[in-house]
Structure 1
Amino acid sequence: MECRVVSAVLKSLNDADQLPVLLARQPIYTKNQDVVAFELLFRSQSGEVDRSITDDAATLAVITNSYSSVCSDGEIRTLPCYLKLTDKVLLNSNFPELPKESFALELLGHTEVTPELLERLKQLARTGYRLVLADYDPSNPKFEPLLSIVHVLKLDILKLGLQELPEIIRKLKPYNLELLADKVENKEQFRQCLEMGFSLYQGYFLSKPIPVRGRKITGNKVVLLQLLAELQNPDTTAAALEQIAVNDAALTFKILKVVNSAAFSLRREVESLSHAITLLGLDQIRRWVTLFLAGAEPGKPDELTRNMLVRGRMCELLAELMGRPHALNYFVVGLLSQLDALLDIEMSELMEQVPLQQEIKAALLTRAGMLGEVLQDVEVYERGEFAALQRLVDPSYYEVSYRHSLLWAQSVMQAMSEG
């Protein structure tokens, strides 16, 4: 069964449209940590970065169909993407008619601000495009005429400095801009920016835990850990697993709902955990137990769970493409690599509470071994640092795997919300 599933996945990756560009997305949040847009991170293999997206209808279709959609409260929503463009592309007479509801146009700081460009931006704003200015430097007068044209202004909080921001914001007030705090790396920075009145936020602050010393795993996560421990016992039985699962009937029901969902296209309905084990095998049950261990916690945004799912699936796909044995272990490593942020428990403390194989723990703690190598590459890809990839597989397969993982995570989120 497992081999057939793997070969089907690899075939679908081979059959997928390969793009002339590497793509990833970074969420843009409101003050409530809801995702309202995505920043597109991309790099072309040809060097024609802008044109590889704007001149390619297939690439634009993939972005609108895969990169801009999320599952929120069981509903699929399409969000706008911030698309970085040079002045050269914006001024090109062949600039395509991009869908205004799907793309916000982001101007980079090194742009040469000319009267011609200002007129072009005004024209784009009049026709309904949302304009974003990045890399703002308050000491450079070239940005001044742009402030009355653009809608969103990105402020790099690390470059500008948290201490200097209140005065910068005060001077920007007359322009009535929507301010986006960029490079927000931890919860404390998020809190300070919140107090300053930013309306949008971007950065990796969600993936950093606020550790509470001595905090223990609680609730249905305890039952899941007991199941995970039993699943690592080579002599376990369906009866032994059901004996543990019976302690949380609601959780068992939710696991069965996911297994029966489109996320795992089965021809017949699974009615019990023992039935699921008979049909799928222990490895696949271990997958879904691990998946629910990554389920949302009170006060934690959906995006954290979504990213854990994407990361887990992409790690597994790369392992399969490389012909690595035990690809499911790569899934577990990717999925649990942000469990510390989800539970606000330091990873080292977490590993003392979680029953996992030593090689999985080593990958999670220090990115060691073959598992850690793949996890590290997936993390690099997520950040859009494409030049730093180890190229464990052909570069185009990274994008196809990432895209597949986005859609897979979306269907799992939908199934989990229905449970």
Structure 2
Amino acid sequence: MPAPQFFLGRQPIVGRQRELVAYELLFRTSHENSASVEDDVVASAAVMQHAFSGLGLQSVLEDKLGFINLSAPLLCSDVIEILPRERVVLEILETVELTPAVIERCRALKAAGYRLALDDVIRFDEAQKAILPLVEVVKLDVLAMQARETEQLVRALKPYGVKLLAEKVDSTLQRDFCHELGCDLFQGYYFARPTILSGKPVQPSAMLLLKLLSQVAADADTQDLEDTLKHAPDLTVHLLRLVNSVAFGLPRKISSVRTALTLLGRAQLHRWVQIMVFAQQSSTHTAADPLVQTAAVRGHLMERLTQTLRPGDELLADRAFMVGMLSLIDALFGKPMEDVLKPLNLEDTVHEALLNRGGWIGYLLRLVEGIELADRNVTLTLLGGLENLSLDTLNRLQIEAMSWAGRLGRDEEA
């Protein structure tokens, strides 16, 4: 059976000189360049999850803007405020009724620095007139209009100073016509069909996701949040990618789960967890992934080993835990370790330990891997390089780590 994948469509938006300006990010369910959207909320949440924590913002958008479709529930939810305002354009779907409440919400988003766009516009009415001062881009559905209607609409919209984007342009004739009308941006099959980006989905534990959501809502201590995330390597990888997506140009590298939580902040963390919940497309979840269990055991064992060998150095213990927990992400994501690590901006000693098993933490990881392989010779050889650590102590800490990680499976069954 082929490995499951997630899919994300990305269609270029170009300027008057055909220069690449932005990408629209589109919901897709396969390599086919189409999608049947049954739930706009789930579709948009999936796009956000795949783009920002599944693939990573830099991989998806490079240095361009990203247009993201929003239905009314997401538009009015604060979860979208996790999106980096300098990198996205919030595209209001044509299905959204432009009520006074929606217009007020758009006013707040604009005041917060977000750019707004109206999607699939084919007419100009009073509701649109009320929202135009808040909108930066109006997308004209040229396929749904006659040439005369398009010309009239452009003439009506020009005085408002909005950028006009001609979408669904699929011929030279349409392109030249819209260019002569003065449209600023263009999108459609004439320029490029959407390309399909894909990756291996990593579904977080449903129980842990809900637990994390309740903890954030209750303003739990950072230590409690960190403990929950330590049971979920999959969630932590998403968190690291998200931190690097929303905090472009990080002031420092990430060395621990606590650092990632601090850089992201509580409000952003709450929104991210809500997006993850939104994006769950099924209420049925299987028991914890054995790969995730093994990663959790590694993380806790390396943390306890560090606390035993270097007592009092909690920063080093945090780094050791992260290395152990992330040491299987190449298998988790089905990609080479170097490719997975590239967008995570990890601290140098963490990166070196994961990529090359180098440094003191890398040495610990080799020891833990030797234990898993039940290779007594490797274990004893590596153990000999560590003072004050006996085989009995190592076995005791391993059992403790297995018991600690085992709670993840019991939570899932509950």
TM-score class, shorter: 0.3 to 0.5
TM-score normalised by length of structure 2: 0.42
The answer to which structure, 1 or 2, has the higher relative contact order (CA under 8 A, 6+ apart) is: 1
TM-score, normalised via structure 1 length: 0.41
